Structure 1
Amino acid sequence: MMKTASLIGNKNKFLILGCGYSGSYFAKTIKKFGCTVLTSSRSISGDPNSFVFNSENGVVPDAKIFDGVTHILSCIPPDKNGNDPVLKSLKNKLKSMSLEWVGYLSTTGVYGNTKGDWVSEINEPNPFQKRSYKRLNCEKEWIESGLPVQIFRLPGIYGPGRSTFEAIKNKKIRVISKKNQVFSRIHVADIANAIIYLLQNKNSLKFYQIINIADDEPCSQIEVIQFCYDLLGLTMPKPILFEDAKEELSPIAKSFWMENRRVSNKLLCETLGYKLIYKNYKVGLKNCYLNS
């Protein structure tokens, strides 16, 4: 962790909206700083630090949940019309609070297809998929909200309990080969720690509203799968060409193969000075292997 005087501690109260894989990991990590952390779920859970927020049913949190909140992280995807569910239900409430910071987890899908070229935050978004258009619309809504928001664009997310190892174990693995196709990825620990690093150093770093969080080495899917089979001491099945496999793929799976880009992390890692914990899939997957 950083040696600098931390800007986050027991005087801070975080609300995490949409506590899926990344949101839960962030909540668990930020708690270590002594912050109060409340997480949302769609239905009542036994967790005293959880509250119900279900925008589809119009269930919004009690007013007391918002007392003393300093930071909000929203991990909730767009609704079916492409609007942001949090802003739709809570925008006026959030604007009436004295929030220090709001984070929004978006996707690098907003960049669209660059045919394998690098993309950075200065590139104009050019979404290719309908879901990426919806994300870009939500980014715009957050930026126009007037809240102190920072948007994090994320590529493929993996980590313990959610990696290629699970796909191999559950026999859901498809070894597909497509020439010159690469994917960018990020370990869930780096999402949480990059955001915390930015919060801890908020006063000394220039503020950027949009930041990519990705590792150093975009690469082909086959490389990653081969590495996992090698670690497990198993033989990787023979790859199938994408052209032969695409008919069997679900629309969502097929859509991932229709875009090819390398996501740059230079703003985060060079300009802002964040040091990745898992700079490539090899170190990241070793961590998943040891924790599986």
Structure 2
Amino acid sequence: MTRAVIIGCGDTGQRVARLAADRGWDATGIVRSAESADRLARSAIAAQAVDLDQPDPDLPDADLLFHFAPPPRTGDDDPRMAAVLAAYAHRPPRRLIYIGTSGVYGDCGGDWVTEDRPLNPITDRARRRAAAERRLADWPGAVVILRAPGIYGPGRLPIERVRRGEPVLDDADSPWTNRIHIDDLAAAAIAAAERGPDRAVYNAADGQPTPMGAAYRAIARRLGLPDPPTISRAEAERDWSEMRLSFLRESRRLDNHRLRDDLGLVLRYPDLNSGLDASLPARG
């Protein structure tokens, strides 16, 4: 039986675990705490609590290793990835699938971006992800990388911001933004495990980028609310947090042809409208 180990078994990992079970694989989710392991167990997902920040983490054998755990929030490296690779150095899995971020491309001036574009991360969080990719480049086993943008789905939408009427950036000043529905990301991870060639990299996006405010307007309309007010970039620079402003400084449009063509992946939610219809609570 194929042994699938999912490191960082959160929302996406749980979906992967269920898809793995559908295929008859033996899936184990790795989480940080015993409480999280108990929650997975109550969802009928085998789980093990492992702290990747401790020396020599005790990780189970794997045929397929899904690495979804984020790096630490500080520094310019990913020591958690280093710890995982060290743990499997003498018992490498058949394939390692890593979900990273499209942030490793940095600002592309709104250009369409394929997987061949050189990495140019401009934020610390993206530099940590780029460092994880560099570690994987030296890994002797088979590796497939999924570079994901914003992940959305049920419970992963800015509904309260929309209800409060928080302003969004005017489209004229807005960068392009990209997204992937969480169910499609899980399906992409399974497809990468089953069919992705060694060292393949995929933009795991729906291929339908929009200005930043489009999602907020679409959510508002589905909730029967007025469109959010808009502000200029200068007003945003004055009023928004540094974290939120960092997303204004990068603009790119992710090309997903390789994901669909090479893996034969048919997205269940190929655009924002179809994904929101499946993600928002029903009105009534």
TM-score, with structure 2 as normaliser: 0.88
Letter in 2 for 1:189: D
After superposition, what is the alpha-carbon deviation per residue over 1:124-171, rounded to whole angstroms, capped at 9, x for unaligned? 1111212212211110101212121111100111011101335435x3
Structure 2 CA distance for aligned equivalents of residues 211 and 177 of structure 1: 30
Aligned to 1:258, which of 228, 249, 252? 249
Query: 1:137 is matched with which residue?
Result: 131
Question: How is 1:18-37 mapped onto 2 (pairs within 5 angstroms)?
Answer: 18-37=8-27
Give the number of equivalent residue pairs: 274
* 1:77 and 2:67 aligned: no
Letter in 2 for 1:234: L
Structure 2 CA distance for aligned equivalents of residues 265 and 207 of structure 1: 18
Structure 2 CA distance for aligned equivalents of residues 237 and 197 of structure 1: 37
Structure 2 CA distance for aligned equivalents of residues 224 and 81 of structure 1: 32
Post-superposition, which runs of at least 4 consecutive aligned residues in structure 1 deviate over 4 A?
none
TM-score, with structure 1 as normaliser: 0.86
Question: How is 1:140-289 mapped onto 2 (pairs within 5 angstroms)?
Answer: 140-169=134-163, 171=164, 173-179=166-172, 181-201=175-195, 206-289=197-280
Structure 1 CA distance for aligned equivalents of residues 103 and 89 of structure 2: 28
Cα-Cα RMSD: 2.2
Q: Per the alignment, do residues 116 and 290 of structure 1 end up closer, same or farther by CA in structure 2, a change over 3 Å counting?
A: same
Query: 1:12 is matched with which residue?
Result: 2
- Post-superposition shift, 1:208? 4.9
Aligned to 1:100, which of 94, 101, 106? 94
- Post-superposition shift, 1:21? 2.9
- Structure 2: tracts of 5 or more residues without a match: none
Structure 2 CA distance for aligned equivalents of residues 166 and 157 of structure 1: 17
Answer whether contact 2:142 2:198 (CA < 8 A) is retained: no
Structure 2 CA distance for aligned equivalents of residues 188 and 172 of structure 1: 25
Structure 1 SS opposite 2:155: coil
Question: How is 1:37-48 mapped onto 2 (pairs within 5 angstroms)?
Answer: 37-45=27-35, 46=38, 47-48=40-41
Structure 2 CA distance for aligned equivalents of residues 54 and 173 of structure 1: 37
- Post-superposition shift, 1:188? 0.6
Structure 2 CA distance for aligned equivalents of residues 85 and 27 of structure 1: 25
